[in-house]
Structure 1
Amino acid sequence: MPGGASTGTFLQGLERGLAVIRAFSAEARSLTLSEVARAVGITPATARRILLTLEELGYVRSDNRRFSLTPRVLALGWAYLSSLDLGELAGPFMEELSAKTRESCSIATLDLPDIVYVARVPTSRIMTVALGVGARLPAYPTSMGRVLLAGLPDDELTTYLDSLEAEPLTDRTTTAPDDLRATIAKARADGYALVDQELELGLRSIAAPIHNSRGRVIAALNVSAHASRSTPTSLCKDVLPHLQEAAAQITTALTHRGHL
């Protein structure tokens, strides 16, 4: 137990709440109250109070007798990622990527229902909306959003799609849940996502995932280009190899820094 326990500063309730969150995993995506109590080493009554508190706060949901995490837990990870100064670390690789492709590139993380920009190297301005660090866009019509959504567990993705009220931002925007699920499944299978004028007419973008050391998608890197100087084919042929190389380099740099 941390040293704060002996000074009266240690909050056992917080420790147990975090332990309950950590009890869920890819192998245990849903747990009964008894399973949580056993995994954490607490009484069922304590487990019940913690789970109901987490449910009221939106971090846990219940289905009959089983509990599971919600995508809101990702907000806790966002606090960590924002402390990494990812832009500073990724900057040289993004500058090189922008120079090779002669296009703008960005990194974003997922904070459902949006993506949040954490780094950007612009060239000429190609969007009507100004983007900078901290800017938010909806996840569903963006290439980085689809890459990040593809990294979610299936149950979290289903929860997101079931609650989504997608708007047709252009006449090309995919809005139907089944169609969105198909595009996200394709992004998961291909290892990248390409969006053709779904967020804004005249704008195409392609994105690749940035992984942690356990293979989990924690961020996405994209290249954006005006439709007048790009085609989907050219983005896949000429830009994607450089994009995937840069994403791999950033993952390696984060790992070597001991962040992941």
Structure 2
Amino acid sequence: MKQAARKDFVEAFARGLEVIKAFDELHPVLGISEVAERANLARPTAHRFLLTLEELGYVRSTPAGYMLTPKIVDLGMAYISSRGIFNLAQTHMEQLVRELDQSCSLTQLDGSDVVYVARVTVPKIIHLAVTVGARLPAAGTAMGHVLLAELDDEKIDEVIQTPTLSVFVAVQHYTRDQLLEQINFTRQHGYSISDERLSYGVRAVAVPIRASDGSVHSSLSMAAHANAVTVEQLKTEYLPRLVNAATAISQDWERFATLPNRDVASIASSIPPPYAPKLSL
């Protein structure tokens, strides 16, 4: 575990978070020794943290070991609620889903991964089943390229060297120069398309959501089966609608920032449709 230079760093709290992070999709149930190993803690220390988390309702003990409870979702939802992200984006995302009959997602960059912070789905079977909170390697996704395009090359190098926390592995791998070439395309054209880059059979298109100062804080994307949607359809049918929605969300976000005492849900309904910027296809 990394040691913080600041004297106010609470190491016990950091260790508790490491215990929570020890659980994931591949390790939903863990024994005390397994938690200790994955969190890099002594077994008695891991046991005390588990007992504390159990008392607080975040884990429960089963005959097979400890597992997280649904209450753990509250920690992630606190971030989403405090930012108002989903409330601001929901109306526009739902409209996209109605028009195109494909799932729509909002993601942000965290380390070398993109993290899903909002999602509107359709009942279809797709190769990647993701939910809010899921992580995907940024270098292997259209959303990731949109978010990486905001960074300079030096910062991108740092991101690439950061180990992913995602359980997914992209089927396509690129050299640094190949990755930067794709990111430069995104910088120039304002969007990214993934043609089965992350998973076979899945295509996606993503665009940035910008703050009032022009910086990118999120990516809006849609994914579809490769046998149902061509790359050309992503460009001509999906991309213009996606840009429209991203522009609307950006405008809602800007207005929300200037009206902190307004109810978030009421803001989206009061914003007129945005002007759709020209696209470079």
Give the TM-score normalised by structure 2: 0.60
1:169, distance to aligned residue in structure 2 (A): 2.9
Q: CA separation of 1:133/1:168 partners in 2, compared to 1, >3 Å: closer, same or farther?
A: closer
Alignment partner, residue 201 of structure 2 = 202
Secondary structure of the residue that 2:246 maps to in structure 1?
helix
Give the partner amino acid of 2:83: L
Identical columns (%): 37
1:129, distance to aligned residue in structure 2 (A): 3.7
Q: CA separation of 1:235/1:95 partners in 2, compared to 1, >3 Å: closer, same or farther?
A: same
CA contact (8 A) 2:193 2:205 kept: yes
Q: Deviations over 1:96-123 (max 9, x none)?
A: 1111122111000000111110111111
Q: Deviations over 1:125-156 (max 9, x none)?
A: 34334311111111111111110000113321
How many residue pairs align between the two structures? 182
Give the partner amino acid of 1:105: C
What CA distance in whole angstroms lies between the structure 1 residues aligned with 2:94 and 2:239? 16
Q: CA separation of 1:82/1:183 partners in 2, compared to 1, >3 Å: closer, same or farther?
A: farther
> Considering only aligned residues, what root-mean-square deviation do their CA atoms show, in Å?
2.5
Residue 170 of structure 2 is aligned to residue 141 of structure 1: no
1:80, distance to aligned residue in structure 2 (A): 6.8
Q: CA separation of 1:82/1:113 partners in 2, compared to 1, >3 Å: closer, same or farther?
A: farther
Secondary structure of the residue that 2:96 maps to in structure 1?
helix
CA contact (8 A) 2:80 2:86 kept: no
Give the partner amino acid of 1:102: D
CA contact (8 A) 1:144 1:222 kept: yes
Mapping 1:1-260, distance limit 5 Å: 83-162=82-161, 169-170=170-171, 173-258=172-257
1:168, distance to aligned residue in structure 2 (A): 6.6
CA contact (8 A) 1:86 1:119 kept: yes
CA contact (8 A) 2:150 2:216 kept: yes
Alignment partner, residue 55 of structure 1 = none
Secondary structure of the residue that 2:233 maps to in structure 1?
helix
Secondary structure of the residue that 1:258 maps to in structure 2?
helix
Give the partner amino acid of 1:251: S
What CA distance in whole angstroms lies between the structure 1 residues aligned with 2:188 and 2:196? 22
What CA distance in whole angstroms lies between the structure 1 residues aligned with 2:149 and 2:80? 19
CA contact (8 A) 1:162 1:177 kept: no
What CA distance in whole angstroms lies between the structure 2 residues aligned with 1:113 and 1:242? 28
What CA distance in whole angstroms lies between the structure 2 residues aligned with 1:114 and 1:168? 11
CA contact (8 A) 2:107 2:117 kept: yes
